[in-house]
Chain A
Amino acid sequence: MKKILISIYLYLFAFVLFSDAKPDITITGTADRGVKRTISLANIRTDASHGATEFLKVLKNDLALSGWFVEAVPSSASILISGDIRASGGISYNLNASWLAGTRTQNFYKTVSLDRLRMGAHELSDKFSQTFANNPGMASSRILFVGRRSNKEPDIYACDSDGQATMQITRDSKLCLSPNWVPNENAFMYTSWLTGSPAVYKVNLNTNSRELISSYPGMNQGAVLSPNKEWLALVLSRSGGVDLYLKNMRDNQLKRLTKSKYHNESSPSWSSDGKSLAFVDDSRSSPQIKIMTLEQLFAGVNVGSAVLGFKESVAPEWSDDGQIAFCGKTSSHNRYGIYVMKPSANNKANTPKLISPMDNADYEDPSWAPDNRHIVCTRILNFKRQLVVLDTMGDSPRVLLNLTGDWYLPAWSDNLIKN
């Protein structure tokens, strides 16, 4: 009961706190191009309660944001949903789905507590994405980011994938960077200047605890765990130069992967199989992405850039299905844009595709949604930072947060991260 009251209190407080905020950018993007299923929710009945109405509203919005559905009237919809959503000791839904001209039917039912109303709707949306579009969806994921409201020092925040339920996670008012989710945990790592020098901390969102992970002398940054959580990749300057390291999380042994005294390494990202790392290296005078297997890194093999034809390529981020999103700048477009490519089997260079608008803004820090389709990134225009969600299949970009402030360095979680 206490937990429910706290959750309601936090939700209401977050609403009050952020309700006066206004969006400060508008993006015009490309027209919808993704293949969409027509779905009708017109035959869903709700009781008069606010909870049931809100549940349906969140569900409809999630389905639209998923990119896989467009709402239609029953007569022209390929997927028909009918049934009831009621508030009785929580939110109960009992829905019937009919698709493929009635040849397929399925029942969806569950009761969720009021404090999990939004997550319950998100989970149902993801079930629809999986069932009707054969895609995991992204609605029940969360997004971490660094935020600076007014002129305050930055802190870590989190919101739902629809940009709602924004919560402040830390309240240190200290420089902080690089929040990265811990695989399969409701926890993240980040770099904070909490004690004056940068150190890596892990925050467990279930237990509200924070532990120190790495505080070597000098820089400790970009910490990201391998999918099996055996290795922590991070950037340290303890040797007197900025280098990429791996830390074994079982025995805490540190392995130095690069020894480039006058070159800069940053932004490591793991492949989904945990066998390769993408990172940024500026040994060729400008920062460029390299992709190397652990064997190559351990053996000290030097390989060329993974991305060709860019003045700069930085901030690589690997998706679960093997795509790499990154931030690039070309000689013809002197702004950072978000590009996507799929490396070949031997990690050789590939032709990237631009997915951010060609406007006067810079797009940086991409992070993949669990649907392997959407990307959240930082959009910078006139030195103002906002988070936007891009669609690799062509839907228009959307601003994630309608809040005043500077919001940047987003990290998208896997699905089903519990509040």
Chain B
Amino acid sequence: MHAFLNKNKVEERRMKMEMLKKYASIAIMLTTVVMITGCFTNESQDGEGNGSINDGVSGVNPYGLTDGIDETFVDGDMPLENIDFQNLNAVEIAFTPVYFGYNTFTIPSAEMPKVNALADLMIAEPSYLLLVSGHCDERGTIEYNVSLGEYRAQSIREVLIRLGVEAERIQTVSMGEEMPADPGHNESAWKQNRRSEFAFYTR
């Protein structure tokens, strides 16, 4: 009934290694999530008092993280790794954002020198991990813009991988239209908001 592709043995070994890494990162993530939930509960107890979950958001059951064997990757995919950026050390580097056209995630040729420079930096600093964020202007629906922002971040990641940066060092996050660089409501602001930004970390 289900049209899933069979993998060869090499691919299976790769998947097993990924599963091992995944479970290792799960332990770290669970710790983080439980800590965060603890903060959430404590904070809400002395909050404004009108929330309906003030009295006991307690614990997080992470059953979504205990998935079975994943059969879903196909040729051409560049799977993302779990990187727990919250427990990494931020490296302060102000790298110029890459800007995009309206409703597209294609990197404009004029912006490619920035991506090349980014790849050079990541290759020169092999301890760096990179978080690429994707952003949109405020036009379009909110949920569609989250997807578009993800694609913008993914397109940067894909080029970096092709330029020689290891895939497992790059993670993406979309912020949709929610974190505008310019809060204005005109073309000049929108141009600044269609972008990808870069944050660097070390373990």
The interface bits of chain A over 192-204 (1 if a CB of B lies within 8 angstroms of the residue's CB, else 0) are: 0111111011010
Tell me the complex Cα distance, A266–B54, Å. Answer: 32
Point out the residues of chain B lying under 8 angstroms from A298, CB to CB.
1-3
Say whether B121 faces chain A, with CB atoms less than 8 Å apart.
Answer: no
Cβ < 8 Å to B, chain A residues 314-341: 314-315, 327, 336
Name the residue of chain B whose CB is nearest to the CB of A327: B141
Q: From residue A92, how far is it (CB to closest CB) to chain B in Å?
A: 27
Point out the residues of chain A lying under 8 angstroms from B142, CB to CB.
177, 364-365, 408-409
Q: From residue B35, how far is it (CB to closest CB) to chain A in Å?
A: 10
Contact B52 A167, beta carbon cutoff 8 Å: yes
Say whether A217 faces chain B, with CB atoms less than 8 Å apart.
Answer: yes
Q: From residue A142, how far is it (CB to closest CB) to chain B in Å?
A: 10
Say whether B29 faces chain A, with CB atoms less than 8 Å apart.
Answer: yes
Point out the residues of chain A lying under 8 angstroms from B81, CB to CB.
217
Say whether B61 faces chain A, with CB atoms less than 8 Å apart.
Answer: yes
- With A218-B80, A240-B157 as contacts: A383 and B150 at CB distance below 8 Å: no
Q: From residue A6, how far is it (CB to closest CB) to chain B in Å?
A: 7
Say whether B86 faces chain A, with CB atoms less than 8 Å apart.
Answer: yes
Point out the residues of chain B lying under 8 angstroms from A314, CB to CB.
141, 144
Q: Which of A6, A158, A237, A251 contacts B172, CB < 8 Å?
A: A237
Contact A170 B53, beta carbon cutoff 8 Å: yes
Say whether A215 faces chain B, with CB atoms less than 8 Å apart.
Answer: yes
Say whether A57 faces chain B, with CB atoms less than 8 Å apart.
Answer: no
Contact B49 A221, beta carbon cutoff 8 Å: no
Point out the residues of chain B lying under 8 angstroms from A242, CB to CB.
147, 150-151, 154
Say whether B77 faces chain A, with CB atoms less than 8 Å apart.
Answer: yes
Contact A240 B79, beta carbon cutoff 8 Å: yes
Q: Which of A196, A259, A315 contacts B74, CB < 8 Å?
A: A259
Q: Which of A9, A170, A239, A327 contacts B79, CB < 8 Å?
A: A239
Tell me the complex Cα distance, A315–B147, Å. Answer: 13
Contact B56 A240, beta carbon cutoff 8 Å: no
Q: Which of A200, A205, A235, A295 contacts B147, CB < 8 Å?
A: A235
Contact A208 B32, beta carbon cutoff 8 Å: no
Say whether A129 faces chain B, with CB atoms less than 8 Å apart.
Answer: no
Contact A205 B53, beta carbon cutoff 8 Å: yes
Contact B50 A13, beta carbon cutoff 8 Å: yes
Point out the residues of chain B lying under 8 angstroms from A209, CB to CB.
53, 56-59
Point out the residues of chain A lying under 8 angstroms from B50, CB to CB.
10, 13-14, 17, 167-168
Q: From residue A345, how far is it (CB to closest CB) to chain B in Å?
A: 22
Contact A168 B48, beta carbon cutoff 8 Å: yes
Q: Which of A168, A216, A259, A336 contacts B141, CB < 8 Å?
A: A336
Contact A171 B144, beta carbon cutoff 8 Å: no
Q: Which of B1, B72, B154 contacts A256, CB < 8 Å?
A: B72
Point out the residues of chain B lying under 8 angstroms from A300, CB to CB.
3
Tell me the complex Cα distance, A75–B144, Å. Answer: 54
Tell me the complex Cα distance, A178–B83, Å. Answer: 24
Contact B172 A264, beta carbon cutoff 8 Å: no
Point out the residues of chain A lying under 8 angstroms from B61, CB to CB.
211-212
Say whether B146 faces chain A, with CB atoms less than 8 Å apart.
Answer: yes
Say whether A162 faces chain B, with CB atoms less than 8 Å apart.
Answer: no
Contact B52 A169, beta carbon cutoff 8 Å: yes
The 7 closest A-B pairs by CB, nearest first: A240-B78, A217-B80, A256-B72, A211-B61, A208-B53, A239-B77, A213-B64
